[in-house]
Amino acid sequence: MKLLEETGVEPIVFDESGEKLGITELAKLLTSNDACVVIGGFPSGGFKSKCLEGCKKVSVAHEPLCAWSVLAKAVVAREAALEGA
């Protein structure tokens, strides 16, 4: 977390309890700043680290997804935003 503070990058945490975003909104978020994304890969449960408190939490589905599915959605959103820029 210290490195993120030094660089000024704010992490975006993908969490099923986060704000639900569509691809367009996610693309805007990922291209508005330097993006650092945090994706959990837990067999059950979610983030428990205090260092992620206060970070922006977003969700890309109404149900839990596998980590690679979340990553794929983030990559597609970023690519779409770059193609439209």
What is the domain extent for residue 22?
A: 2-84
Domain CATH code at residue 26? 3.40.1280.10
Q: What is the pTM of this model?
A: 0.81
The pLDDT profile of the chain, 85 residues, written as one tens digit per residue, is 677 778 878 889 998 889 999 989 999 998 876 778 888 877 677 777 777 788 889 999 998 899 999 999 999 998 988 887 5
Number of folded domains in the chain?
1
64: closest CA among 38, 37, 52, 46? 46
Alpha helices in the chain (DSSP H): 2-7, 23-32, 67-84
